[in-house]
Structure 1
Amino acid sequence: MPIDIEQPHSFTHGQHIMPDWQVHLTDRIMQFYIDRGLSVDPVVLKTPPAPQEGHRYLLYMHVPFCHTLCTYCTFHRFLFKEYKAREYFKNLRTEMQMAKDLGYDFQSVYVGGGTTTILEDELIRTLELARKLFPGIKEVSCETDPKEIASPSFKNLKGLVNRMSIGVQSFDDSILRLTERDKFGTGAEIYDRIAACQDLFPTCNVDMMFGFRGQSLDMIARDMELIRQLNPRQVTTYPLMVTSQTRRSVKGIIAAKGQELSQQYDTILNTLGKHYRQLTSWTFGRTNDEGIDEYVIDHDEYLGIGSGAFSFLGNALYVNTFSLSRYAQRIQSGLMGTERRRIFTKHQILQYRLMLSVFAGRLSRKYFREVHGVNLDTSLFKEITGLRLIGAIRQDPQDPDRLIVTKRGKFLGLVMLKAFYSGMDNVRAQLRAPLKACDM
């Protein structure tokens, strides 16, 4: 049914959760560590390393094709050509078999893009093979856009996908025009499509974004109210991420000026937060068990297949080739896609897991003691002290192993992960820069 597009009059405006200078300082600190540690070097490998006994892994698949390219999107993607996409899916399935032959097993799968559902028949074949090769799979999470869900064949994914994430960004038509996402329909049309399809999957996630130029607090509150009316099982509320790859196209055009994230975030908490449980800094769910959101949170290690896919295995980050032609050549020669690697120190890995723990709102001494074999308070003394001083964490009086992440801490987690993902996007930009027409 049509949605009411009138501007609301009585929403509570957000407050500043964190002073602007602390947001600026966090960005500067994150940028320092990202510049120093987040880069990847060429490596000659036939495959990534074999799995370690007792370790739990997630399988990430990347589908790098879209019908049109959004100006602000920083993910690895190419304009869709059917013959290239069909060859790619075939190679993706071959690489998945290689992972099986290497000894990997998975209980969770995340399919990202691009537009993962751009060839639903190929995606279905790929997911069916995944479930055959890895019968222990318990959940498959997949991304799509608001246009794809209107396809009559979209319902064929029922039973194969446990969590379908739909990239809405906003129901406001002015924001959709600003971001060139009006190509997917009006806010009212998108709302109706989600209402019609969300029961196809155990979990329907709606991706929303804030931080756009001209996006007022009332606009954000109205979007959150429409989400409440839709009542999906899960909602993510991402901040717009401006990186070196997108800065020219979005700075001063679609990105909000100044440090407005704090008020906008508080507006989300004051609206959506009243009706949903907060699962992470930017994820909300009807219950505490809504399936995968940010797979890096719940999986210390993951194997990525497909062009441009990332893997985190042991103490290293591995990156597959960003060239479609080289990816095809490697797979058809019996090699997996990995072409770059970065090995991290123990301290860098601990800092990474601390950031993710704050973002997830689950900071546990027991986790660091049992998984990483360290005392959290001494191994990350400076980091823990800093978090205490700014009021991001406090001791749980009922559990000596648990540190409570405060409201300010959750916002800090959002700011840190935003900076980290922007750094990852900059890595993508650097690896895409040398690509020629023959690589696409």
Structure 2
Amino acid sequence: MHLYLHIPFCKQACHYCDFHFSTSLSQKSALVDALCAELILQKDYLPSNQLETVYFGGGTPSLLSESELAQISETIHAYFTISPSAEITLEANPDDLTVEKLTMLRRYVNRLSIGIQTFDEATLRWMNRAHTATEAEVCVNRAHEAGFDNMSVDLIYGIPNRDDSMWQADLQKTLALGVPHISAYALTIEPDTAFGRWQQKGKLPPADEALAASQFETLTNALTTAGYEHYEISNFAKPGLYARHNTAYWQRRSYLGIGPSAHSYNGHSRQYNIANNARYIADIKHGKLPATVEELTVADQVNEYLLTGLRTQWGCSLNELNVLYSADFAQKQTNDLLSMYKTGWLVREGDRLRLTESGKLFADRVAATLFVDQ
């Protein structure tokens, strides 16, 4: 089973981010207490209490002090069993990763996911990132020296008014750092962000889909040539070093989400925690789970599997679709499947439906075409 913990605090707000977080750290200690209390309240949510992965996400989990990280870790160990081979990941910003911080983190986690985004100083400032280009490079080398052999870095492409040379430079620098896992995302402009407000006022051009598609192709070619497997649309890994936690999401495994705005999934329903720190803390103090439960219909489960499974190199199993749908999926969706085969975006290989290289640019459209009705 799999555990996600949302740490909803950041030093400052990146201009593109619409995740739930606060830049005020005044409630951090109370929030950690509430996380631990929710872990106890939710200890029986999963079919098994043995954890194969634990993921500290956010926000910025690298803002946690050692005492706070120890408190959470001790609570997890008290109420769950952690597999000896468990992947324990913590998201981190480069400016937090001092030698001392990395030494401390090694006592609690065995994998880092570092939010670099770009090595270009001007673009980091434009995005309102808290770190510098130098810190981005130095922190990866420090993490290697601290013993973090398993780590990932995040990059962003498709940035307006930034030419291909900057993107190529980001890729070259990332490859030179020798990280085993790279997550790369096209910049999306969400309404409730600084970029979204800039765009509404005409201060930021719309996303350039042609630029993003071109840079996605550059990304794919550079990383696969360098020996990375393109195992999910936005994720590349050296052989065998996939992000096990995220892969569990894409493969419909059960997981428990702890913290404000966190989601949980148990195979037949989803649970959504309230995205409000103060109300989350207050409800947990009163022994109440601040969550909304959504029972999933057959169509929900089929469509979610198509949406996530098609993003991966493994694609979707027709046998699994048949079990979920209680019918022959391929027969029911014959016309839509033929349409997707004809476009060259989808192929069938034995039991599997997989996106082609060109289809990866249209993953959501392919999945939506194959969706079944309620």
1:301 corresponding residue in structure 2: 254
Q: Which amino acid aligns with 1:331?
A: I
Q: Which amino acid aligns with 1:128?
A: E
Q: Is 1:88 aligned with 2:31? A: yes
Q: What secondary structure sits across from 1:141 in the alignment?
A: strand
Alignment of 1:190-229 (within 5 A): 190-198=136-144, 200-229=147-176
Provide, for residues 192-237 of structure 1, a one-character-per-residue CA deviation record: whole Å limited to 9, x for no partner: 2211213533411000011211222221111111111011010000
Of the structure 1 ranges 354-363 and 127-136, higher mean CA displacement relative to structure 2 is found in 127-136
Deviation at 1:379, TM superposition (A): 4.6
Q: Is 1:110 aligned with 2:62? A: no
- RMSD of the alignment, in Å? 2.5
Q: Which amino acid aligns with 1:67?
A: K
Q: What secondary structure sits across from 2:153 in the alignment?
A: strand
2:221 corresponding residue in structure 1: 270
User: Retained in 1: the 8 A contact 2:88–2:110?
Assistant: yes
Q: Which amino acid aligns with 1:198?
A: H
Q: Which amino acid aligns with 1:222?
A: A
Deviation at 1:160, TM superposition (A): 2.3
Provide, for residues 362-387 of structure 1, a one-character-per-residue CA deviation record: whole Å limited to 9, x for no partner: 22223334566543313544553343
Distance 2:143 2:337 in 1: 44
Alignment of 1:278-289 (within 5 A): 278-289=230-241
Q: Is 1:130 aligned with 2:76? A: yes
Identity %: 24
Alignment of 1:367-406 (within 5 A): 367-369=320-322, 373-381=326-334, 383-396=336-349, 400-406=350-356
Provide, for residues 264-286 of structure 1, a one-character-per-residue CA deviation record: whole Å limited to 9, x for no partner: 10011121221111111111111
Q: What secondary structure sits across from 1:409 in the alignment?
A: helix
Distance 1:387 1:314 in 2: 28
Distance 1:160 1:254 in 2: 43
Alignment of 1:52-201 (within 5 A): 57-82=1-26, 84-101=27-44, 105=49, 106-121=51-66, 122-137=68-83, 138-150=86-98, 152-181=100-129, 183-185=130-132, 187-198=133-144, 200-201=147-148
User: Retained in 1: the 8 A contact 2:251–2:305?
Assistant: no
Of the structure 1 ranges 301-310 and 342-351, higher mean CA displacement relative to structure 2 is found in 342-351
- One of 185, 189, 199 as aligned partner of 1:238: 185
Q: Which amino acid aligns with 1:307?
A: P
Q: Which amino acid aligns with 2:152?
A: N
How has the CA–CA distance of structure 1 residues 146 and 386 changed in structure 2, closer, same or farther, with 3 Å as cutoff? farther
- One of 305, 308, 317 as aligned partner of 1:353: 305
Distance 2:199 2:282 in 1: 35
User: Retained in 2: the 8 A contact 1:303–1:311?
Assistant: yes
Higher RCO, 1 or 2 (CA under 8 Å, sep at least 6)?
A: 1
How has the CA–CA distance of structure 1 residues 204 and 229 changed in structure 2, closer, same or farther, with 3 Å as cutoff? same
Deviation at 1:342, TM superposition (A): 3.4
Distance 2:209 2:321 in 1: 36
User: Retained in 2: the 8 A contact 1:395–1:404?
Assistant: yes
- One of 267, 285, 297 as aligned partner of 1:332: 285
Q: What secondary structure sits across from 2:244 in the alignment?
A: coil
Provide, for residues 53-75 of structure 1, a one-character-per-residue CA deviation record: whole Å limited to 9, x for no partner: xxxx4222111011111121110
Distance 1:335 1:329 in 2: 9
Q: With the length of structure 2 as denominator, give the TM-score of the two structures.
A: 0.86
Distance 1:63 1:280 in 2: 25
Deviation at 1:166, TM superposition (A): 0.5
